[in-house]
Structure 1
Amino acid sequence: MKVLRIDLADRSYDILIGQNLFKALADHVPALSGLRRAVLVTHPSLHHLYGGALEAGLRQAGMESRTVEIPEGEAHKTLASAGLVYDHLMQHAYDRNTLMVALGGGVIGDLTGFVAATYQRGVPFLQVPTTLLSQVDSSVGGKTAVNHPLGKNMIGAFYQPRAVIIDLDTLKSLPTDEFRAGMAEIIKYGVIEDPDLFAYLEDNVDAILAQDTDCLTHIIETSCAIKARVVERDERESNVRMILNYGHTVGHAIEALTEYIQFKHGEAVAIGMVIAARLSQQMRYCDAATVERITKLIHRYGLPTQLPDFPARDYIESMYRDKKAREKKIRFILVRALGQVEIVDAVPEAELEKVLLSQ
């Protein structure tokens, strides 16, 4: 088992990466000591696959647990779904000494974390990510949120978990397209911070897509370590943490315009990374070779690189509504070189429109 520590003073916690971790939660997460009740939030299919083992681990840690099931999909990361969890908590009189457990991907993790942050002004929660994307991104760093029809993650809070439990065994049941979507965020880490990781991804495409355990452990641990370092420097995204949004400005616009149904989050981010790279070249931040390497690697992992067919103006208006926009200015993370990016607070509309129209 690999253990990474996120150092955030009294909000510090461990990220555990390994196999067969659920049945010994008490041994792995001392921070659970003293908690007596737990609420597991998950999808029906994941409850069937992993709920028993996780519930056994909670019992071994001295907790009785109940489960709330939420349908799958980004379309269910809403206040209405949060309301279902609140209803359960209220009906069964759960107090502040309750552990919320998020068993699932980014939707479940964000939703459960949001409920944990707001129920009785905050109860402890545990992230148990089961998708590659959530293991390397959304489960780490304390961002919680639900979506609004006009924008993604517009309603939320920064709220850190007690621990993140990454059990590699859960990836065995992950559909191929979900696994590929997770690779988008790992590619992102290579672009923004680690050219060695980017080269590793280029050199090991087949082994990674075949889910070789050693390869998976390496890329997940490296990705989590990068995110941990960034979060430690800027927990609430006031400056440097914004580099983690590379590809997300356009990605979130794609998701909003397609009503969160046509593209998986990682697929939308993959397209967004390509557009951001092209914009970087157009604004003379990077050269064509860098754009080509990024685009080629994304394509090799079976991810999309082309924008869906919406008018450029629709994309721009959606970006203005994004929470990362400031004072009617669109912020982009632009590429200088692999491993080096820059936060640009006001990308000219004309430059952005040229790239959007060139698709």
Structure 2
Amino acid sequence: MREFTYKSRDGNVEVLINANHGDALEKISGKYTGCVAFVSRSIANRVKVKCPVVPIIDGEEGKSIETALSIVRNAHEIGIDRDGLFIGVGGGSVLDVVGFSASIYLRGVDYVNVPTTMLSMVDASLGGKTGVNALGLKNVIGVIRQPRYIIIDLSFLESLPMPSYIDGFAEVIKYGITMDRELLSQVMNNPDKLLGRDYEVLEEIIYRSLINKASIVEKDELDRGVIRAVLNYGHTVGHAIESVSNFSISHGRAVALGMICEARIGVKLGYTLRDVPGLLVDALTRFNLVNRVTIDANGLVNAMMRDKKRSGGFIKLPVVIDVGRWDLVRVRIEDLTKLVTEECRSTP
């Protein structure tokens, strides 16, 4: 087992990797006056915790203000007080809504994230961004509040369908290409073991991914500076690809295609070394994350115009310089529109 701690404005966050979630939760919950576990209904029978277990809807359908209100109601009926604990067990959508609910219940109680997908293990579980969808908008209601503990139990990955499992490696490769050359090398050198869900290699890969993300979160917890922008690499175009495809392209694959496109744009802008796009294609292809698709360039541009990083006539775009090096650049909307049309019409 690997573990580390990162600092937040509300105190330290303890991260346990390759831990037994039942054992860890038993120790943690003993520190509180009571606890309740809100669990993805698809895995409710696999959760080992000595607390009331409340199954909730997972996926975007369950990431709503109605679900948050239901969580608050359940916690109140169970008798959770301000010294009680919420436990979220599931993928990113479950962790988002449980974390948000913990943040508003009695003006805030501690919560634990127990991610059960590869994507949530390396991304959504750490960082403190919580929220729900409303008014037809994604994450329009939310707060930044860190979990008190993050428990990564690799046994949850055993039953995860392969397409969902490999989705998480887009985020791992993102950390590697932007911040950690050694991580990228480890991923590219061990595709068979990683695809075979080898615990020893997975533990190291997840550990390095989360260490990288935690180092960014510590420096810019509230996402008001510059440095946290690196976590959005590939997401400006990736989110637009998801939208244009009506979400038929998964998040991991959309981010993979977004990284390739943004690397090509970086080359055209004169920031990115010419071999970076090819290296990304190579790494992502090893995990079957590169779909050959033709994208409606006009639709892609229109979706990007709604990006939250747009400011006036510019979009702030994190750009990789070389493996492990990046910068944040302001790109004119008209220039980005032209480059997206030229470089992102088809992939790879």
Question: TM-score, normalized by length of structure 1?
Answer: 0.88
Mapped to 2, the partners of 1:259 and 1:116 lie a distance apart of 31
Q: Equivalences for 1:41-190 in 2 at 5 Å?
A: 41-49=38-46, 51=47, 53=48, 55=49, 59=50, 65-92=51-78, 94-148=80-134, 151-190=137-176
Q: For 1:225, what is the secondary structure of its paired residue?
A: helix
Cα distance per residue 1:100-132 (max 9 Å; x no partner): 111011111111111111223211110011111
User: Which residue is equivalent to 1:62?
Assistant: none
Number of residue pairs the alignment of both structures matches: 343
Please tell me whether the aligned partners of residues 39 and 94 of structure 2 are also in contact (alpha carbons under 8 angstroms). Answer: yes
Mapped to 2, the partners of 1:239 and 1:45 lie a distance apart of 38
What runs of 5+ residues in structure 2 fail to find an aligned partner?
Answer: none
- Does 2:14 correspond to 1:14? yes
What runs of 5+ residues in structure 1 fail to find an aligned partner?
Answer: 60-64
User: Which residue is equivalent to 1:214?
Assistant: 200
User: Which residue is equivalent to 1:357?
Assistant: 345
Mapped to 2, the partners of 1:23 and 1:16 lie a distance apart of 12
- Structure 1 residues 73-82 or 120-129, which shifts more? 73-82
Mapped to 2, the partners of 1:335 and 1:87 lie a distance apart of 45
Cα distance per residue 1:196-226 (max 9 Å; x no partner): 1111111111111111121111101111111
Q: Equivalences for 1:22-37 in 2 at 5 Å?
A: 22-27=22-27, 29=28, 32-37=29-34
- Structure 1 residues 343-352 or 96-105, which shifts more? 343-352
In structure 2, relative to structure 1, the CA distance for the partners of 1:313 and 1:154 (3 Å cut) is farther
Please tell me whether the aligned partners of residues 295 and 305 of structure 1 are also in contact (alpha carbons under 8 angstroms). Answer: no
Please tell me whether the aligned partners of residues 21 and 114 of structure 2 are also in contact (alpha carbons under 8 angstroms). Answer: no
- Does 2:275 correspond to 1:320? no
Mapped to 2, the partners of 1:80 and 1:312 lie a distance apart of 36
Please tell me whether the aligned partners of residues 277 and 291 of structure 1 are also in contact (alpha carbons under 8 angstroms). Answer: yes
Shift in Å at residue 139 of structure 1? 0.5
The one of 232, 239, 242 equivalent to 1:252 is 239
In structure 2, relative to structure 1, the CA distance for the partners of 1:230 and 1:12 (3 Å cut) is same
Cα distance per residue 1:256-315 (max 9 Å; x no partner): 33444x233222211211111111122122233211010121111011344563x32322
Please tell me whether the aligned partners of residues 238 and 257 of structure 2 are also in contact (alpha carbons under 8 angstroms). Answer: yes
Cα distance per residue 1:149-191 (max 9 Å; x no partner): 6543332111011100111121112111111001111001101
- Structure 1 residues 346-355 or 332-341, which shifts more? 346-355
Amino acid aligned to 1:352: V
Q: For 1:331, what is the secondary structure of its paired residue?
A: strand
Mapped to 2, the partners of 1:185 and 1:149 lie a distance apart of 28
Shift in Å at residue 26 of structure 1? 4.5
- Structure 1 residues 35-44 or 177-186, which shifts more? 35-44
Please tell me whether the aligned partners of residues 150 and 321 of structure 1 are also in contact (alpha carbons under 8 angstroms). Answer: no
- Does 2:282 correspond to 1:285? no
Q: For 1:41, what is the secondary structure of its paired residue?
A: strand
- Structure 1 residues 251-260 or 225-234, which shifts more? 251-260
Please tell me whether the aligned partners of residues 150 and 256 of structure 1 are also in contact (alpha carbons under 8 angstroms). Answer: no
Q: For 1:346, what is the secondary structure of its paired residue?
A: strand
Q: Equivalences for 1:223-238 in 2 at 5 Å?
A: 223-237=209-223, 238=225
Mapped to 2, the partners of 1:163 and 1:279 lie a distance apart of 38
Q: For 2:310, what is the secondary structure of its paired residue?
A: coil
Mapped to 2, the partners of 1:263 and 1:76 lie a distance apart of 20
Shift in Å at residue 77 of structure 1? 2.0
Mapped to 2, the partners of 1:75 and 1:234 lie a distance apart of 30
User: Which residue is equivalent to 1:194?
Assistant: 180
Q: For 2:242, what is the secondary structure of its paired residue?
A: helix
Amino acid aligned to 1:292: G
- Structure 1 residues 36-45 or 345-354, which shifts more? 345-354
In structure 2, relative to structure 1, the CA distance for the partners of 1:9 and 1:74 (3 Å cut) is closer
Please tell me whether the aligned partners of residues 37 and 88 of structure 2 are also in contact (alpha carbons under 8 angstroms). Answer: yes
In structure 2, relative to structure 1, the CA distance for the partners of 1:342 and 1:125 (3 Å cut) is same
Question: TM-score, normalized by length of structure 2?
Answer: 0.91
Mapped to 1, the partners of 2:52 and 2:63 lie a distance apart of 20
- Does 2:6 correspond to 1:3? no
Indicate the RMSD between aligned Cα atoms, in angstroms. Answer: 2.2
% of aligned pairs identical?
34
Q: For 2:331, what is the secondary structure of its paired residue?
A: coil
Mapped to 1, the partners of 2:119 and 2:208 lie a distance apart of 14
Please tell me whether the aligned partners of residues 58 and 91 of structure 2 are also in contact (alpha carbons under 8 angstroms). Answer: no
